[in-house]
């Protein structure tokens, strides 16, 4: 069971060719202009969203990134006619609730595995939010009916699926508070501290493209990290830089951050 990709900019994909990704978005923009109606991609990763937003701005396109709720990580790109107001309500997605016993436990990977086992492509699935007794996930509306009819278990746990969800949504993330000292706000210093490695290893990770600031790969070891930045170190995790300004008596910066868990 796959998503119906008519009136969108392409199917599920692991974008490895930036030229293909750019061409796909340019086609979506042209199709929107030709048909004078919105065109939507599948759910995009944060890296893809950053690339898409950059291209949309260059094309002066009228667009919106939306994942079903304000802080969604995986979001669709909607390209709208020039004089239309972009509206999240128009996106071809549904929120689905999977209810289960509070004594049972459901994991993110189990939910995703169950959906993939139904033949759904990854690009048809948005964020998956889990709390005690309830999971809410977002998907393309073309697969909703089949999921409601076919899915009765997730990872061996009996579930009851229903369309829609009750507010408030389960928390998207948990965080671990981190406080460290660094020699400076340079990317190599901050990466070394957060990843628990030496400066030399941090430089290797950065130059190899393993470190991203706000979903954009940064290979410049001397790049300064700022408060509010989201730093991703492949193989280590993702962090939000909360504070990087206070100085110790020895002249080192106090780094306060949160790690996604």
Q: Is the pLDDT of residue 3 over 70?
A: no
Examine the fold and report which residue of 66, 90, 114 is the final residue of a domain before the chain moves on.
90
d(CA 185, CA 208): 20
211 with 159, same domain: the answer is no
pLDDT of 17 reads 63
Residues 194-230 have pLDDT tens digits of: 999 999 999 999 999 999 999 889 999 999 999 999 9
In a domain, 168, yes or no: no
Residue-range definition of the domain harbouring residue 100? 93-163
Residue that is written with structure tokens 């746990």 in the block: 157
pLDDT of 7 reads 42
In a domain, 169, yes or no: no
Structure tokens at 115: 């959906």
66-68-73 Cα angle (round to 5): 65
In a domain, 4, yes or no: no
Secondary structure of residue 25 in the 3-state scheme? helix
Counting the structural domains of the chain, the total is: 3
In a domain, 228, yes or no: yes
Q: How far is residue 207 CA from its own chain's centroid?
A: 24
DSSP 93: E
- CATH number of the domain to which 117 belongs: 3.30.70.330
Average pLDDT over residues 26-31: 96
In a domain, 7, yes or no: no
216 with 239, same domain: the answer is yes
pLDDT of 173 reads 81
Examine the fold and report which residue of 90, 125, 140 is the final residue of a domain before the chain moves on.
90
State pTM to two decimals. 0.80
239 with 199, same domain: the answer is yes
In a domain, 193, yes or no: yes
253 with 189, same domain: the answer is yes
Secondary structure of residue 60 in the 3-state scheme? coil
In a domain, 74, yes or no: yes
Strands (E), 72-124: 75-80, 93-99
d(CA 149, CA 66): 26
Examine the fold and report which residue of 136, 163, 190 is the final residue of a domain before the chain moves on.
163
185 with 157, same domain: the answer is no
121 with 142, same domain: the answer is yes
84 with 98, same domain: the answer is no
């Amino acid at each position: 069971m796959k998503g119906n990709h008519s009136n969108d900019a392409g199917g599920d994909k692991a974008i490895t060719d930036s030229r293909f990704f750019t061409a796909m978005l340019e086609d979506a923009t042209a199709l929107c202009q030709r048909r004078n109606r919105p065109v939507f991609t599948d759910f995009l990763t944060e890296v893809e969203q950053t690339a898409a937003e950059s291209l949309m701005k260059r094309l002066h396109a009228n667009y919106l990134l939306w994942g079903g709720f304000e802080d969604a990580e995986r979001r669709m790109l909607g390209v709208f006619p020039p004089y239309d107001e972009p509206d999240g309500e128009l996106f071809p997605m549904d929120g689905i609730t999977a209810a289960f016993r509070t004594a049972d436990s459901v994991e993110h990977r189990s939910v995703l595995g169950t959906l993939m086992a139904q033949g759904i492509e990854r690009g048809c699935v948005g964020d998956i939010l889990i709390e005690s007794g309830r999971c809410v996930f977002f998907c393309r509306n073309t697969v909703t009916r089949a999921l409601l009819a076919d899915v009765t278990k997730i990872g061996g746990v009996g579930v009851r699926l229903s369309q829609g969800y009750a507010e408030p949504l389960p928390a998207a993330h948990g965080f671990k508070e981190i406080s460290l000292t660094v020699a400076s706000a340079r990317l190599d210093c901050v990466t070394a501290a957060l990843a628990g490695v030496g400066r030399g290893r941090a430089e290797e990770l950065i130059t190899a493209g393993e470190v991203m600031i706000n979903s954009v790969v940064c290979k410049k070891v001397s790049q300064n990290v700022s408060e509010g930045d989201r730093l991703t170190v492949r193989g280590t995790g993702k962090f939000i830089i909360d504070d990087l300004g206070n100085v110790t008596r020895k002249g080192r910066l106090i780094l306060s951050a949160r790690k996604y868990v």
